[in-house]
Amino acid sequence: MSKLCRWLHEQMEQQSLFKFPFKPEKLPRNGVYFFYEQGENWGHGAPKRRIVRIGTHRDGNFRSRIGEHFLLDESKMNFDKDKAKPSDRSIFRKNIGRALLNRRGDNYLQIWEIDYIYRKNKELFGHLRDIKREKEIESEITRMLRKSFSFRFIELSRQKERMGKGGLESSLIGTIARCKLCRPSKNWLGNHSPKKKIRTSGLWLVQHLGADEINVNDKKTISDANRKQRAISKWQF
């Protein structure tokens, strides 16, 4: 398990590292992303970045998904009690907000948990929202993501290849989650998450943590994608 985790980290280190600000047009239409967090190192020797989140998206939405995490469209901060907050559209942002509120012992966590994308929740719980406060939390999350997080990716065109029980995303997460060496630092914000799976895994994830690790075919898919991307990058730059 640890050997596969190390192999995966080393494969990804061959790719360019993106950090805010970046140009969305440099990103693919389809792929799997790997997030890193400042202060979080792997457990395989020498201080190198530890993968803290792996994710993918519906067909053609890679750029918009990354944009939602980093809130590249800042007009989405113009929400009110009848509109969803940015973190309702990004579970990554939502989990960071949960940990921030829980670390403070803030009871607003109960309201933060509600997903206001759904009309029924707006009608039932909209009156409980403190919009000014939510905007302050959202701004804090954005600052944190832009300052402390970076990402790499591999480009994979077919949605079936990326997503679902048999997709690469689940086995990638399973590989990292099963590693006993890649553990969070004492100061990792995720240690304050109300989600036990986040605290115990050291990842900003709750799904696919128990999935099987990558197999021989998965390794070939990753290696092939790596070689293709390096060739394209060399040609472009």
Bridge partner residues of 32 (DSSP): 154
User: Cα–Cα distances in Å, from 165 out to 9, 174, 205, 230?
Assistant: 22, 11, 15, 28
Per residue in 1-51, pLDDT tens?
A: 589 999 999 999 999 999 999 999 989 999 999 999 999 999 999 899 999
Q: What is the dihedral of CA 69, 70, 75, 81, to 10 degrees?
A: 40
Range 91-96 average pLDDT: 98
Measured between alpha carbons, how far is 198 from 162 in angstroms, rounded to an integer?
22
Place of tokens 């080393």: 10
pLDDT value of position 163: 78
pLDDT value of position 237: 43
pLDDT value of position 234: 54
pTM of this structure: 0.94
> Does the pLDDT of residue 236 top 60, yes or no?
no
pLDDT value of position 167: 84
Every domain of the chain and the residues it spans = 2-71+150-236, 79-146
> Does the pLDDT of residue 164 top 80, yes or no?
no
pLDDT value of position 98: 98
Per residue in 113-135, pLDDT tens?
A: 999 999 999 999 999 999 999 99
User: Cα–Cα distances in Å, from 223 out to 7, 178, 181, 231, 232?
Assistant: 10, 21, 23, 12, 14
Measured between alpha carbons, how far is 97 from 196 in angstroms, rounded to an integer?
15
pLDDT value of position 203: 98
Beta strands 149-155 and 18-19, pairing class: antiparallel
SS3 of 176, please?
helix
Position with higher pLDDT, 230 vs 25: 25
Provide the residue count of the chain. Answer: 237
Position with higher pLDDT, 87 vs 26: 87
> Does the pLDDT of residue 183 top 80, yes or no?
yes
